[in-house]
Amino acid sequence: MTESYRPPSDILEVLQQIEYEEPLGPDDPRYVDTREARGSQRTLDRLARKLGLLLADGRMYPPRQKHVLFFGHTGSGKTTELLHYATQLEGPGRFCIVQLDITKDLDRNNLQYADTLMAMARALLHRLDVAGVDLGTDALAPLDAWFSERVLTTEAGRELRTEIKTGAAGKGGIPGLVKLFASFTAAFKANATYKDELRRVIRNSFGELAAAFNTLIQRAEDALRDTGNGSRVVFIIDGTDKLRGEDTRLFFVHDAEQLLAIETLVVYTAPLSLKYEGNLAGKLDADLMLPMIKLAERNGTPCDAGMRAVRDILLRRADRTLFATDDDIERLVQACGGHPRELLRLLKLCCEFAEDDCIDAATVDAAVRQLASEYRRFLAPDDYALLAGIDRDGIHAGNDERTRRLLYNLALLEYNDGTWRRSHPVVRTLEGYARAAEAAAETGN
């Protein structure tokens, strides 16, 4: 922990600082190394190897292209971990990391490959611009030409050009293209009329665009190597795990070939439910997962590393003096099931329930009861039966729609790269679960 950092010691300040959606950057003092706790010491190694880097000795044998999906429960810390992975993967002789968050840069409602491609191009150009890397006009020519011939001749293109007052040709070089792509991306995000027309343009001339983009990437990688900024580009695309239903299938399944036409290295965050739908395109690398923090092993033996890590996460959000006893901390740790966002949710509930500046046993009880009651609202009797069955014999229990739904809404948690599952601890406090567990014990199911 950074020496000068002190977690808030006032309940209201703790409450004020809880943001579920906030990923922790590499220097954030609230970050806790959870690799041992998750059993994910090898997750970064595996990701690096998929991209062609042997972290142990720094040897690089990158493939021409690789599109890796990075799975994990909602709120399990994918973004935070990726931010840390980026610091390990980046550097001279390694990779130049280009990060983009589609939830910020694009409208994830009805996100399509076209939007993502434009955002990737903008992010790469911006990265080059910031690094002061000059590509020369011939490297940009194919993309420039595609713009001039295909986009700027459309009504939307002409309007965009007027809006930004200068096109790629007007300003020239990387800064001009950055500006143009930024306008393009903004139009995708905010302007439904332009979006449809521009998407049509991209669909109709996708081959040309992909070739132009691939040329840009290759020339960028040459220039990055020459300037000691990394030998290959890796795009880390975050927020794609937040796509839902039809949008997920469209993006990762229906339009996967278009994504794969871009010859580069890409890591996408992906929703856990997609992993079990079984219809992913073969070329997408879909076996990397961020495991949950384990509080116990599959056989029930406590996992000290997991307990320690969750405790650390908690005590970097709320000062130890706020808790009446170590037992109260322990109970919160156990109740979250090793899920960081659920831990924050419980801590927030404690702050809401606590009278005075103290989280005691009664406060923890109230928080657990409240979170459990929120699960009770949507769990059906059959859900309890399934959860009790999974807990009873530790089987994987398949991936039918009910199981996927329970995984998605966190009533069911998955550990060790998905090799075993357990119901959420607060769900196990509910009467419906107790009855189902009793029934399962009686029938031996």
Partner 1 sequence: MTDDAHRFHLDRHRAATELAPEHIPDFQRLLKDLCYGSRFQLLILDCRDERLRELLIARIDEVLEGRRLRPARLRLAPDDPADVPALEAVLATLAADHDAIHITGADAWLTDPRWRALNIRREAIAERAPARLLLWLTPEQVSRLPDLAPDLWAWRSGVFAFEAAPDEPRPAPERFDAAIDNRSLAQRSRRIAELRAYLAEDPPPPDDLRLPLLDELATLYEDLGEWDKALRIRREEELPVYERLGDVRSAAITQGQIADVLQARGELDAALRIRREEALPVFERLGDVREVAITQGKIADVLQARGELDAALRIRREEALPVFERLGDVHSLLITRANIALALLQRAADGDRVEANTLLCEALADARRLRIPETETIERMLAEQGMDCDATAPMR
- Exposed e or buried b per residue across 384-394, where buried means at least 16 C-beta atoms within 10 angstroms of its C-beta: bbbbbbbbeee
Q: Phi first, then psi: what are they for 75, rounded to 5°?
A: 75, 15
Complete DSSP assignment for 159-190: HHHHHHS--HHHH-HHHHHHHHHHHHHHHHHH
C-beta closer to partner 1: residue 15 or 152:
15
Sheet with strand 232-238: strands edge to edge: 95-101, 232-238, 265-271, 66-72, 284-289
User: In a 3-state reduction of DSSP, which class is residue 350?
Assistant: helix
One-character DSSP codes across 218-276: HHHHHHHHHTTS-SEEEEEEESGGG--HHHHHIIIIITHHHHHTS-SEEEEEEEHHHHT
- Pick between residue 107 and residue 159 the one whose CB is nearest to partner 1: 107
Name the residue nearer to partner 1 (CB basis): 217 or 292.
292
Among residues 176, 391, 406, the alpha carbon closest in space to that of 296 is found at: 391
Pick the closer one to partner 1 by CB: 109 or 301.
109
Please, which residue, 18 or 296, has the CB nearer to partner 1?
18
Q: Are 422 and 300 in contact (CB under 8 A)?
A: no
**Which residues lie near partner 1 (CB under 8 A)?**
10, 12, 15-16, 18-21, 74-75, 103, 107-110, 242, 244, 247, 348-349, 351-353, 355-357, 366, 370, 373-374, 377-378, 405, 408-409
Contact between 345 and 2 under an 8 Å Cβ cutoff? The reply is no
Q: For partner 1, which is the closer residue by CB, 227 or 370?
A: 370
**For residue 412, what are the β-bridge partners?**
423
Nearer to partner 1 by C-beta: 5 or 20? 20
Q: How many residues does the chain have?
A: 445
Compute CA 138 distance to the chain's CA centroid, rounded to the nearest angstrom: 36
Tell me whether residue 65 or residue 110 sits nearer to partner 1 (CB atom): 110
Q: At closest approach, how far in Å is the CB of 346 from partner 1?
A: 12
For residues 33 and 401, which CB has a smaller minimum distance to partner 1 in the complex?
Answer: 401
Cα 100 from Cα 104, distance rounded (Å): 8
Token pair for residue 346?
């419980």
Q: How far is the CB of 83 from partner 1 (least distance, A)?
A: 19
* HSE value, Cβ hemisphere, 13 Å, CA-based, for 366: 14
Cα separation of 381 and 373, whole Å?
15
Which is it for the CA torsion 15, 16, 20, 22, positive or negative?
A: negative
Residue 169: what residue type?
A
Minimum CB distance to partner 1 smaller for 152 or for 358: 358
Query: Is-contact 421 412, C-beta < 8 A?
Result: yes
